[in-house]
Structure 1
């Protein structure tokens, strides 16, 4: 039996959605045959140089849920998604040879590990197979901001004012529906958590992020947070909360793996402002999306310096590597109850509030003076919403080697009294954690 021929292949990375996917839209042009692939790269589940698994169970489960949903949503568009364990540079050439693929479309990345994969993939492909990538993880597209990457300002406020004045957010793109005849005959199952080396587990009952992965869940959350409960309208007042699902939008995990685009959120905010009301809170969520953009542009400007101990400022501090202090921080047994509560939440749920992250990072880097990259690597391992640019950008910022040259140290006890005045959050995790 002859294998079906496919002209274009979409290689999904951190753009795991059908709606407003520029890569998918580009690949769907001028073809009647389209196939999609996601590679579960074994390197993403290996142990890093600091001793942490690069992807722990929380994000692994969220990813698998996302892939199941993506496969279903693509199928409704007449597109098959293959989910295969293996290195992309090895798997994709095999698929291209099997189906006679002419062009591989994918989202452009620029950090080192992703670049290395692309380079090797290019070497392994037949000369007749082309690669085509596009930027598609921004609110403000790089072609629209009127700045070269070298011109990205060192201060966020300067960047924000520039893009707000000089740029427009692009409209979302539509994806055509293909004939069901486009679906390929490949019945392999999506790998399980056990296949990735994890045991099945239940979400912790106290989790502030009890949501599932996937575009459908992301869009449901957007509709609920914006239009059903109108919680968007009080976002600025509640965003420093610590307990529950609704103190913040909780979009970060879906944004991180691309289950929803920043543009989709932006235009939904604009619809809310038109149909309901406009206030500081509706703007503040856009403000946070611009922060997310900014860290991506900082990464584009400075390249792999964001992973260096001296950061982008080349600031030389004395950093320590005391195993005892690192383990106390990880296990929530430091001298600071507020830090401990936040670290226990992270350990048991894979999530932590923005307020918590700032405090535990400051305590790690500025109070204990531990190598901030160790803290960043632990966050990478545990966080459901890990995003390389935001994670390392924020850690550099707090450690004093990033975009904020002020050498600030958080007063943890003052922070606790301001944001957890009755100790409710600390009691929730210090007394009631299920071990």
Structure 2
């Protein structure tokens, strides 16, 4: 270990953050199941790379599949024929695996993201969804591949899975519901824009999307794009979407401490309810889901911020929070009236600007540039059509633009 590593600790490649988790999972983070995971250089490399291809199922191929010390990928082309690709050790890379399975081979256990008021159905996330490799040497290039190895170190693509021979004599394929990737149009920051969704194969090749999520016919090859993850890349597992942030990107992103400072700065301005004239205050980040007496509320059509009041609606704030339409006392515009919540997951921010905009209809608050970016990102929702959503709760956006500028009332004194 170098002197630099002894001082700075483990080499950090980056972090994966689950969209729809505002700082932690609804039931709390635990072990390998959490809202975000940090990928660091392993003590010993565990990367693998493609080796011998067995076009017929020979005794050697059978040994590779049955061996718990050997990684392999099996492609069933028919009931009677399977192509086996042996994988050998790659000491230059670290491999991290993601999926719904709780087997020890999975480093990051991911379950389906259910938006507010949504119902959890049968999971569409693969038990062994994808794998990520990070080069151990700078610049620590990171790749994503569809499918992960199981506890027997095997990946098996069934007869109905899309598969094909490549020009260089390798076998490649797609998983049932696929792994989609979107790289931002430029660096993830104030001027970033959404890219185009692609599907990544088991071997890391990029394709246009299939006609349907599980269609057997693959899309067209996209030669000019790669499976190299960049700061702000999105990985969709058909039920959960992950944001990749590089270590360098995170160093330029506001921290939770910075968000807390912005919250205190907002509260120090003593915003006032124009009806009750009481001072409003955003609750602490630790109480991000608990309605407070001083909680700011907003009329989503016009953006006027109030304290909770019973003007033109029900007395019960919990009932009103469900989105019942109300008339704004300031401008008479009718629309949903909801509490405001600060977006607490710092990795979703593209800048360190003042929280000034809220997503519609959930009421999560962040900077203008962050809100503007995410409202333009069309996200997969399982097997359903793509739709923009709040990154903090994954609720689909509504209204005219999906966001609203907040109008605070300053104290009269």
TM-score range, shorter chain: under 0.3
Q: Going by fraction, where is strand more abundant, 1 or 2?
A: 2
Give the TM-score of the pair, scaled to structure 1.
0.24
Q: Going by fraction, where is helix more abundant, 1 or 2?
A: 1
Q: For CA contacts below 8 A with separation 6 or more, give which structure has more relative contact order.
A: 1
Give the TM-score of the pair, scaled to structure 2.
0.25
